[in-house]
DNA sequence: CCCCCATGTAGACGACTGTATACTTTTGCG
DNA sequence: CGCAAAAGTATACAGTCGTCTACATGGGGG
């Protein structure tokens, strides 16, 4: 399962290549894949039962890629305590360097195949849980209860993933995207601290500081 | 342009029907469309030059639908001043009643066709601008500057659209989605009020109230 | 060494696709 | 009504697709 070689790898990589050139995983054809990979169409059957199974394997492949990225991220976040700014920069650079995987994830998360959608949702939920637990364990946002941290993590993971797509496609907006992401995160966590208070009270207090 | 009739309408509606049954606009076939609409394949050519033009027309069709929805929403928001809760409920019910259009929008916003993506982005940006201007004019969040209101509106519109997809597909989670959406909005605007203050200061103050 | 099994190739099949040309029906207007 | 344009249909063609069966290669373990 773990390491792919030969034709199998070639086919998966061909899929990633085609998808970045504005295609969708679900719309790829067997022959098209083989053509792009430089293989005979029938070679496909030596590695996959059908296109559905292929899709899942591609998802597994990119999930593996993403996991190593997350691991790096956590290792880096451990060393710095002012997480936000550099962390956001790091994350977007990571997505940029894994544009193909990112594109697949974003496309299929809202794509037509229910199976792939569920698989991706589970993957994202798992990442969100990890992120939340890290935040809670390291007491990064004291004053916010655990359930809320989980909720915010869930939103943030998705927000970043979608913005990563823009980040990849619109180089001229990268600074803005990074900045808005920081705003997003800051507002969510700061907002959570004063969630139960009426806006007027907050505004009055804030204007005095 | 305005009113569709006969075969043209049938084809567009057939597309919406197929898309809700887990398909993507870009992946629809000419013959498939005609079959679903109960028409001869060649009738398609009487109304559309090719499938790309068809896609754009479908988008225009649902954009028209959405616009009337937004108009209703603004009319309703005018009458109540505690916007948030009922507004959110209203919005999700609207999306639920226009499931096909919602699905198309979400699918194609991250779909493989750059043309459709741009068209949808512009549509969403326009809606976000309208929303922001409403909020600013009615002074719903004093203490937050205009640029920030625009930024938050932009995020919120997208957040709600994506959650609307879940809302449609997962009936058992509808209450939770509605609640989390309220949280999202509240945290964004409240967070914006205290954006520039260090979290510790906020937490200390909040714990005293 | 040889054999075997995994991997890759060749050719063919029926089904489906987008499109062109030609014909029929329906519709709206003077 | 009469007739022209619009809308819908029939048939056909070349291309692509997924899949099947049969055959070729080639590298590692007995």
B188–A189: do the CB atoms touch at under 8 Å? no
Rounded alpha-carbon distances, angstroms, from residue B15 to A54, B35, B58: 27, 11, 8
Predicted local distance difference test score (pLDDT) of residue B64: 87
A40 beta carbon to strand C: under 7 Å: yes
What does DSSP assign to residue B209?
-
Complex-level ipTM? 0.91
Predicted local distance difference test score (pLDDT) of residue B82: 53
Bases on strand D under 7 Å from any protein CB: 6-12, 16-22
How would DSSP label each residue in B145-207? -HHHHHHHHHHHHHHHHHHHHHHHH-GGGHHHHHHHHHHHHHHHHHHHHTTTS-HHHHHHHHH
Q: Tell me, in Å, how far CA of B197 is from C1' of D11?
A: 75
Bases on strand C under 7 Å from any protein CB: 6-12, 16-22
Report the residue from A23, A193, A199 with minimal CB separation from B199. A193
Region A167-180: mean pLDDT is 97
Nucleic strand C contacts from chain B, 42-71, CB < 7 Å: 42, 44-45, 50-51
Rounded alpha-carbon distances, angstroms, from residue B159 to A77, A91, A199, B29, B97: 27, 20, 22, 31, 18
The residue that leads in pLDDT, A176 or A3, is A176
CA-based torsion, A20, A170, B52, B3: positive or negative? positive
Q: Which among A106, A107, A156 is positioned nearest to A128, based on CA atoms?
A: A156
B107–A111: do the CB atoms touch at under 8 Å? yes
Is the pLDDT at A3 greater than 80? The verdict is no
Region A151-175: mean pLDDT is 97
3-state SS, residue A155:
helix
Report the residue from A155, A184, A194 with minimal CB separation from B194. A194
Predicted local distance difference test score (pLDDT) of residue A102: 95
Q: In sequence order, which residues have a C-beta less than 8 Å from that of residue A181 and are 6 or more positions away?
A: A88, A92, A159, A160, A163
Q: What is the mean pLDDT of chain A?
A: 91
Predicted local distance difference test score (pLDDT) of residue A24: 94
Rounded alpha-carbon distances, angstroms, from residue B189 to A166, A192, B8, B166: 24, 11, 44, 24
Token pair 């898309």: residue: B19
Is the pLDDT at A163 greater than 50? The verdict is yes
What pTM was estimated for this model as a whole? 0.93
For chain A, the straight-line distance linking the first and the last C-alpha, in angstroms and rounded, comes to 57
Q: In sequence order, which residues have a C-beta less than 8 Å from that of residue B8 and are 6 or more positions away?
A: B47
Decide if A84 contacts A185 (C-beta within 8 A): yes
Decide if B164 contacts B97 (C-beta within 8 A): no
Give the minimum alpha-carbon distance from A143 to chain B in angstroms, rounded to a whole number. Answer: 6
By C1' distance from the Cα of A49, the closest nucleotide is D19
Give every residue of chain B whose pLDDT is below 50, as ranges: 1
Predicted local distance difference test score (pLDDT) of residue B115: 92
């Amino acid at each position: 399962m773990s390491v792919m070689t030969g034709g199998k790898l070639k086919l998966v990589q061909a899929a990633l290549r085609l998808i970045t050139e504005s295609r969708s995983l679900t719309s790829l054809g067997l022959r098209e894949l083989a053509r792009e990979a430089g293989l005979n169409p029938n070679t496909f059957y030596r590695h996959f039962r059908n296109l559905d199974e292929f899709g899942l394997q591609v998802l597994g492949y990119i999930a593996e890629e993403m996991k190593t990225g997350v691991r790096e991220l956590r290792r880096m976040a451990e060393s710095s305590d002012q997480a936000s700014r550099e962390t956001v920069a790091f994350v977007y650079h990571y997505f940029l360097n894994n544009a193909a995987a990112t594109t697949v994830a974003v496309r299929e998360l809202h794509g037509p195949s229910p199976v792939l959608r569920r698989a991706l949702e589970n993957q994202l939920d798992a990442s969100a849980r990890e992120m939340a637990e890290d935040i809670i364990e390291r007491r990064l946002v004291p004053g916010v209860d655990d359930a809320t941290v989980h909720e915010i993590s869930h939103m943030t993971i998705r927000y970043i993933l979608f913005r990563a797509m823009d980040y990849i496609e619109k180089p001229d907006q990268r600074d803005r995207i990074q900045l808005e992401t920081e705003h997003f995160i800051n507002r969510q966590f700061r907002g959570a601290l004063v969630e139960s208070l009426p806006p007027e009270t907050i505004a009055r207090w804030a204007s005095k500081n």
